[in-house]
Structure 1
Amino acid sequence: MKPPPEVTVPLTRRSLMDAAAACFGWRRAYETTMQVDALLTEQSETAYRQAPDHAALATEKNTTTLAVQPGVLDVRGRILADVLYLEGVLAGARAHDLAPELTQRLEDVVDHGHELTVLLADAVRATVTAHTIGG
């Protein structure tokens, strides 16, 4: 069933609508590139707006090699969970013969995600190695 056409709503109000829908486990699909680009821009702006806070907190908190470890482990766990979710999305795309470009992009994302989890695991191991050596 196709969702009803979206009414043009200001981005901030649409974000509130999306947040309310998410409380019920609902997700909305966007049908135009313009809508997707607006959402991607909003996500990026929000992340970059919060980045200075993350940097300041991390600088204050991560004063030893072992202090870095829990945060990196948390990020790896979240990314791994998301990559495994995306593997399911990829399996569904393949099973339903969705657009080849979409399938290829999902394959690239899943591969890159797994590579990222390997790099993060290496970073976690480096915290122990550096601590053992005396860093």
Structure 2
Amino acid sequence: MSLARRTLMNAAARLGWRRAYETTAQIDALLTEQTDTAYAGAADHAALATAKHHDVLAVQPGVLDVRGRILADVLYLEGVLTGARTRGLPQELIDRLEDAVDHGHELAVLLAGTVRTTATGTP
């Protein structure tokens, strides 16, 4: 996908417009693209994190940011789950959404614990 098209699609997504895919082949292609894009920057992230995160307090803001984004996304998924239940969508979809929501909440709890370990003061 071209950079211009991806940029336009990202801008549309921020406005709440999203494209639905009808086949698993289309979804698999998108999932592969998302994975490739994420891993393409992984080496840069590792190098930056190594240089920047010299002590526990330097780690804290990034972990807090990630937890906040995950929690917001999980709450969004809870809304999707509620809608799926209300509309009587397939049980397999509901089960998968429940698993994703549960896992997201577990991840948010784990990250909160991680952030707590970065506090240098005593309570």
Q: What is the TM-score normalised by the length of structure 2?
A: 0.90
CA distances 1:6-27 after superposition (whole Å, capped 9, x unpaired): xxxxx44763563354365311
- State the partner residue of 1:113: 104
Structure 2: gaps of 5 or more residues: none
AA aligned opposite 1:79: I
**Root mean square deviation, CA, Å:** 1.8
- State the partner residue of 1:68: 59
AA aligned opposite 2:96: R
Aligned residues: 121
Distance 2:27 2:8 in 1: 16
Q: Work out whether 1:47 is the aligned partner of 2:38.
A: yes
- State the partner residue of 1:100: 91
Distance 2:15 2:104 in 1: 28
Sequence identity of aligned pairs in percent?
68
Q: What is the TM-score normalised by the length of structure 1?
A: 0.82
Structure 1: gaps of 5 or more residues: 1-10
Which of the residues 61, 69, 79 maps onto 1:78?
69
4+ residue runs of structure 1 moved beyond 6 angstroms? none
- State the partner residue of 1:57: 48
